[in-house]
Amino acid sequence: MAEHVRPGFFAAPPERPGLALFLNAGDPPLPVLPELIQMLDESEVDCLELAVPFPDSFTDGPVVRRSARRALADGVDLRRTLDAVAKVHAGLEHLRIALLADWSHTVKPCGLPDFLGLLGEVGTDALLVHGLPPRLRAEYYETAADRRVPVVTTCYPNSGEQTLRESARHASAYLYLVAHYGRTGSAPPGGHAELAPLIGALRAIAPVPIAVGFGVRGAREIAGVRAAGADAAIVGSAAVAVVERALADGTDIVGSLAGFVREIRSGHGGSGRAGAISSGSRKEGQG
């Protein structure tokens, strides 16, 4: 039997935009993660940006910072994150997992070659390094290519021409356009549709999909991202807030996120096979 080949990043049907969700590993608790990832896969969410939790992120707003603190307090680190991913990755049919790791807290203590080697063993689909010093970018890109680790690069609307071209040239998974210079949860003043000229310029030089994040909270913002010409929308703080509310209320985390995915996809062509899973069959997400 031929091996099943999953689609590339954001290989969404034309009637709906690609979708990525951001979460911190360990928030929800790691025992919940396999069921949650299965739900996202069956819902045909395209990508889970899964962060190895780290403290005091300078780019994150209060919702994501609280999430990271909860995960760190539970002892979640790189090894536990990779072990959790390894348990489910091989069985995924649609969802891809992009690991987000902080340079100072996670990558540097391992050493770049050894860190990338660990990712190769687990089989994560892409890597985004937070806080990478500019002087190390060339080494990072070269080593990641040698280890066959696809790279997510980032840029901002106010990035200089050289930065935009570098980000486009070295992205091998997707290019993350941060919609607004600020912290997670903030949006561009004129809405995401104002990014259309920049996305058009990046499209001409980037060989990979373009995903837009920051300030994407629901169906309206996702429609704006799509109208601007991007391939996908990245939902971060709003998804993390769903987890936070479920933890506080003692309700089903997986069911809450499944409902959130259906809600933000309203008007964009359904929600895959999620309807095959009844929320009543799920465990309470407090493991």
Active-site amino acid positions? 49, 60
Helix (H, G, I), strand (E, B) or coil at 27: strand
Amino acid at 189: P
* Beta bridge mates, 233: 19, 212
Burial 214-236 (b: 16+ CB within 10 A, else e): bbbbeeebbbbbbebbbbbbbbb
CB atoms within 10 A of CB 77: 16
Contacts of 128 (CB under 8 A, 6+ apart): 49, 98, 99, 100, 101, 151, 152, 153, 154, 176
Alpha helices in the chain (DSSP H): 33-42, 62-73, 78-88, 108-110, 112-122, 137-146, 161-170, 196-203, 219-227, 237-249, 253-264
